[in-house]
C-alpha cells in the first residue's frame, strides 16, 4: 500500500508498529515512505520515542502512593500481545528499524542519548572509605558507609580507625578523635587529630593543612598530629616540604626527621617518632582481624536462622564440600526446595575476604532452583553488589514464565525496586514498585534488599538496608507460588529470544538469599540487615 504523510493511514501504521500489530502491507508502505520523506521520518521517530518514554515512566509500575485503589480502575494490567500475533511481520520491523536508523539525523541521535541518561550520573566524590576498625562517627551526622565514595566535606571520627583512599592514589589512615575536611582528591584540612599519609609517585603533591602548618608531599609516608594548638610532622619515608605559617620560608624534611610548629614561633626540628603512630600502621592488620570476627558472627547467626520453620530457602553461598555447580539450601525445608544448580556464575569474594559469592557477568549466568507449594505470604531477601543496571529490567529473582500466582523480583534501570505478581485470571498481573532508591553511589557496595508480600494484609513492602522504601496496596489475591525459578536471570518461555526487552540478566554479585513463607515485619528485616552488614553498628550510624 502507498502511504501519505500526514494521513490517517500513516497514524494507524505507526500505532501498529508501537503495539506490535502492524500488518505486512502497512510495514512495506511505511518503509517506502520513510525512505523518501524527511518530515515523515521525524514524526515517526518522535512517536516511537514518546511510546518508549511512556513505557519507562512510573505508570509502567503500580503507583506507590495508591493506598486506596478505585474498584473501577484496578491496577491489573493485560499482558502484551503474544509473539505469534506479530511474528509474520517481524522481518519487516527489523528492516524498517534499520532504514530509520540509517536515515535518522545526528542531532536526533544526540537527543535520544540525552533523554535516556540516568539522573545523577556524575559524581563529586574525591575519595572512598576503604577500611574501618571499631569506628564510631559523630552521631549527629550521616556516617559514611564502608566502600562508599566520599565527596568534599567533613569527616568526624569519635573513636576507632579508618582508612581513606583518594582518587589521586594517596591513602590516609586516621584515628579518632579527629576532624578531617576532604577538600579535593589531593588536599585535606585537619584542625585536630592524628593521621598517617602514604603517597605514591602518582599522587606527589598531596597536601595536608593544619592551623599551624601546610605540608606538601614529595612521595612519602608521613604522620601528622594536631593537638593543643600545635602540629607535629613526622617523616617516615621519602621527604616533604612544609611551611610553618604564611610568610615564612618553605622547608624540607627527609626520612627520619620531624618538626613541631606552634603559633608564630619558628618550628623546632626533631627526630621522627614512629611509635606515636603505631595503631595507624597496624590498621590493615586490625581491620583484617575485625573482618574475621564479623564473618564468624554472621556464620553463627546464619546457622541459627536455618532453624526458622518458615524459612523455605536459604542459600548462604558457602559451598563447603559440594560440587562447584551446586548451591546447597541450608534451611530445614530441603524437601520443599532442593539444592540449586549454578549455571555459568564464577565464585568470587563476598562481603568479607573469607566469604564466598557468585558473580553474574553474562546473559547466561543464573542459579536455578525449584520451590513447591502455594503460600498466603512470602518474604524474599538478598545481599547483592550491583555493578550496573544494564537492562531496563534487571532480575534478582524470577519464576519462569507467567504461571498464575508466580513472582518476579527485579531492579529497574533507574533504581526502582519492582515486584511483579501474576494473577490467577488469564492476562492479569500487578507490578508493585518503590521510588528510585538504588543510586549510582551504591554501585559496587554490598546492599541488603528485601520485599515482603503480605497476602492477608494486601500489601507489598520494599526494603533497602533494613529501611522500608516503598509500600504498595496488593490487588491480587493469594495464593502465591514459586515453582521453577532462578536468581539473577529469567527463562521467559514462549517469548522470542531476540527481543531485547526479555533479556533481564543481573550484573553484579550475590552472597546470600532467603525465602520465607510468611511476611516478616520491619524489625525482623532490620535484624537480617544488621547481622549481615559488613561492619556492625557500634553507634547510631544514620540510615545505613
Q: Specify the CATH number for 286-532; select among 2.10.109.10, 2.30.30.830, 2.60.120.200, 3.20.10.10.
A: 2.60.120.200
Which residues, 6+ apart, have CB-to-CB distance to 169 below 8 Å? 199, 200, 202, 203
Which one is the CATH code of 127-281: 2.60.120.1440, 3.40.50.300, 3.30.1360.200, 3.40.30.10?
2.60.120.1440
Residue 65 pLDDT level (bands cut at 50, 70, 90): very low
pLDDT in tens, 181-229: 999 999 999 999 999 999 999 999 999 999 999 999 998 999 999 998 8
pLDDT: is 102 or 397 the higher one?
397
The gap between the terminal CA atoms of the chain, to the nearest Å, is 61
pLDDT, averaged across the chain? 82
Residues 326-346: tens digit of each pLDDT:
899 999 887 888 889 999 899
Report the alpha-carbon distance of residue 136 to residue 537 in Å, rounded.
9
Average pLDDT value for residue range 127-145:
87
127-281 and 286-532: identical CATH topology: yes
Q: What pLDDT band is residue 303 in, cutting at 50, 70 and 90?
A: very high
Cα-Cα-Cα-Cα dihedral sign, residues 275, 281, 287, 292: negative
pLDDT value at position 499?
Answer: 53
Q: What pLDDT is attached to residue 2? A: 84
pLDDT of 434 > 90? The answer is yes
Q: How confident is the model at residue 145 (pLDDT cuts 50, 70, 90)?
A: confident
Lowest average pLDDT, out of 68-82, 140-154, 295-309, goes to 68-82
Asked whether the predicted pLDDT for residue 58 surpasses 50, the reply is no
The string of pLDDT tens digits covering residues 83-126 is 443 444 445 544 455 444 434 433 333 333 333 344 434 568 89
Per-residue pLDDT, 518? 96
| pTM of the predicted structure, to 2 decimals | 0.68
pLDDT at 57 over 60: no
Helix (H, G, I), strand (E, B) or coil at 281: helix
Q: What ranges do the domains of the chain cover?
A: 8-54+73-107, 127-281, 286-532
Pairing of the two strands 207-209 and 187-198 = parallel
Residues 6+ apart with CB under 8 A from 236: 196, 220, 221, 222, 223, 255, 256, 272, 274
Name the burial class of residue 101, with classes exposed (0-12), middle (13-18) and buried (19+) by CB atoms within 10 angstroms of its CB.
Answer: exposed
Q: Which helix (H) or strand (E) holds 302?
A: helix 283-305
Amino acid at each position: 500500500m502507498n502511504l501519505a504523510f500526514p494521513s490517517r493511514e500513516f497514524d494507524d501504521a505507526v500505532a501498529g508498529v508501537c503495539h506490535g500489530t502492524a500488518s505486512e502491507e502497512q510495514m512495506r508502505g511505511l518503509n517506502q515512505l520513510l525512505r523518501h520523506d524527511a518530515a515523515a521520518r521525524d514524526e515517526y521517530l518522535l512517536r516511537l520515542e514518546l511510546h518508549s518514554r511512556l513505557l519507562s515512566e512510573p505508570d509502567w509500575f503500580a503507583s506507590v502512593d495508591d493506598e486506596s485503589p478505585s474498584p473501577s480502575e484496578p491496577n491489573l494490567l493485560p499482558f502484551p500481545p503474544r509473539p505469534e500475533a506479530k511474528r509474520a511481520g517481524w522481518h519487516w520491523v527489523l528492516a524498517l528499524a534499520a532504514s530509520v536508523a540509517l536515515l535518522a539525523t545526528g542531532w536526533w541521535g544526540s537527543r535520544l542519548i540525552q533523554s535516556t541518561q540516568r539522573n545523577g550520573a556524575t559524581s563529586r566524590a574525591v575519595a572512598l572509605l576503604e577500611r574501618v576498625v571499631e569506628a564510631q562517627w559523630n552521631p549527629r551526622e550521616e556516617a559514611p558507609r564502608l566502600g562508599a565514595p566520599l565527596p568534599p566535606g567533613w569527616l568526624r571520627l569519635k573513636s576507632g580507625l579508618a582508612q581513606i583512599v583518594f582518587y589521586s592514589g594517596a591513602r590516609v589512615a586516621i584515628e579518632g578523635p579527629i576532624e578531617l575536611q576532604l577538600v579535593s582528591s589531593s588536599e585535606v584540612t585537619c584542625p585536630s587529630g592524628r593521621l598517617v599519609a602514604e603517597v605514591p609517585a602518582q599522587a606527589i603533591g598531596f597536601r595536608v593543612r593544619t592551623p599551624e602548618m601546610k605540608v606538601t608531599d614529595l612521595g612519602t609516608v608521613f604522620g601528622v598530629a594536631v593537638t593543643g594548638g600545635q602540629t607535629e610532622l613526622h617523616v617516615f619515608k621519602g621527604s616533604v616540604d612544609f611551611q610553618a605559617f604564611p610568610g615564612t620560608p618553605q622547608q624540607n624534611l627527609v626520612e627520619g626527621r620531624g618538626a613541631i610548629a606552634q603559633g608564630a614561633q619558628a618550628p623546632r626540628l626533631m627526630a621522627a617518632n614512629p611509635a606515636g603512630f603505631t595503631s595507624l600502621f597496624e590498621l590493615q592488620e586490625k581491620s583484617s582481624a575485625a573482618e574475621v570476627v564479623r564473618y564468624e558472627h554472621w556464620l553463627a547467626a546464619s546457622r541459627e536462622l536455618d532453624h526458622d520453620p518458615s524459612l523455605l530457602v536459604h542459600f548462604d553461598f558457602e559451598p563447603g564440600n559440594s560440587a562447584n555447580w551446586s548451591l546447597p539450601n541450608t534451611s530445614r525445608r530441603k524437601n520443599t526446595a532442593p539444592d540449586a544448580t549454578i549455571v555459568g556464575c564464577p565464585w568470587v569474594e563476598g562481603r568479607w575476604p573469607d566469604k564466598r559469592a557468585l558473580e553474574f557477568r553474562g546473559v547466561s549466568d543464573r542459579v536455578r532452583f525449584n520451590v513447591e507449594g502455594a503460600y498466603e505470604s512470602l518474604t524474599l531477601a538478598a545481599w547483592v553488589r550491583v555493578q550496573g543496571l544494564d537492562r531496563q529490567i534487571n532480575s534478582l529473582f524470577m519464576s519462569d514464565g507467567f504461571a498464575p500466582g508466580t513472582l518476579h523480583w527485579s531492579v529497574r534501570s533507574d533504581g526502582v525496586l519492582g515486584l511483579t505478581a501474576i494473577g490467577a485470571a488469564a492476562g492479569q498481573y500487578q507490578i508493585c514498585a518503590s521510588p528510585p532508591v538504588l543510586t549510582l553511589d551504591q554501585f559496587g557496595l554490598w546492599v541488603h534488599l528485601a520485599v515482603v508480600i503480605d497476602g492477608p494484609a494486601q500489601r507489598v513492602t520494599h526494603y533497602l538496608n533494613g529501611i522500608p522504601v516503598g509500600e504498595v496496596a496488593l490487588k491480587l489475591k493469594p495464593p502465591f507460588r514459586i515453582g521453577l525459578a532462578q536468581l539473577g536471570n529469567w527463562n521467559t518461555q514462549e517469548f522470542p529470544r531476540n527481543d531485547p526487552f526479555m533479556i533481564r540478566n543481573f550484573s553484579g554479585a550475590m552472597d546470600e538469599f532467603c525465602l520465607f513463607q510468611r511476611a516478616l515485619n520491619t524489625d525482623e528485616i532490620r535484624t537480617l540487615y544488621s547481622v549481615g552488614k559488613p561492619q556492625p553498628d557500634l553507634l547510631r550510624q544514620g540510615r545505613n
